[in-house]
Amino acid sequence: MLISGQGSNLQALIDAEGIDVACVVSSRAEAPGVERAQRAGVPVLATADEPETNAFLEQHGVELVVLAGYMRILSDGFVRRWSGRILNVHPSLLPAFPGAHAIDDAVAHGVKQTGVTVHLVDADHVRADTGPIVLQEALAVSYDQSRAELAERLHEIEHRLLPEAVRLFAAGRIEVDGRRVRISG
């Protein structure tokens, strides 16, 4: 997993049955997610350097790269190297509200529905948060609740959807046809 922050999605994958988090790369050494990995005995490297990241992933026999709150744009070379094997989780119904402030942007827009998207990362990654959508779940926005409550409800969805997507990948059930993903079986 590649992370930069809290690592609550990392925790969800660590806790998920049948999923083996091979290693973690954090672009920030002080990210709370680093400690979560250490506590779980998962090998962790703090680096923002891509060749170093790649070498670490290879060394740990990684089959799938999961981005969860990873705040760096990956190079073409990296995305090509792991083509079809990079998942990202994002707190909006993409393609609405890509980028680092999705929750605030959706609220500022006054949307009545937002949600969570898990998608494969494609070569158009220069614009963040693009690629074939694997899973999506909507959430009604109540403007009576605080921003923190909304974020918490979105996180709860993420913590369910991301392990589900990883399981689908591991089972070979994600079939990509252009922009579309068909879940087989």
Give the footprint of ligand GRF on residues 90-109 (CB under 6 A): 90-91
Decide whether 84 or 98 has the Cβ nearer to ligand GRF: 98
Give the footprint of ligand GRF on residues 40-69 (CB under 6 A): 68-69
Single-letter amino acid, residue 174: I
- Closest contact distance (angstroms) between CB of 185 and ligand GRF is 26
The number of residues that bind ligand GRF (CB under 6 A) is 13
2 near ligand GRF, rule: CB under 6 A: no
The catalytic position among 60, 90, 101, 119 is 90
- Closest contact distance (angstroms) between CB of 49 and ligand GRF is 20
Decide whether 55 or 73 has the Cβ nearer to ligand GRF: 73
Q: Which residue is listed with tokens 């981005």?
A: 67
What would the two tokens of residue 117 be? 């998207």
DSSP string, 117-128: EEEE--TTTTSS
Active site residue 90: yes
Closest among 58, 76, 69 to 13, alpha carbons compared: 69
Give the footprint of ligand GRF on residues 8-37 (CB under 6 A): 8-9, 33
- Cα dist. 7→64, 74, 82, 174 in Å? 17, 19, 22, 25
Q: Out of 2, 25, 86, 89, point to the residue binding ligand GRF (CB under 6 A).
A: 89
Q: Which residue has the CB atom at the shortest distance from ligand GRF? A: 69
Decide whether 89 or 181 has the Cβ nearer to ligand GRF: 89
Per residue, the 3-state secondary structure of 19-41, as one string, reads: CCCCCEEECCCCCHHHHHHHHCC
CA-atom Rg of the chain in angstroms? 16
Cα distance between residue 117 and residue 135, in whole Å: 6
Name the residues annotated as catalytic: 90
* Interface residue list for ligand GRF (CB under 6 A): 3, 5-9, 33, 68-69, 89-91, 158
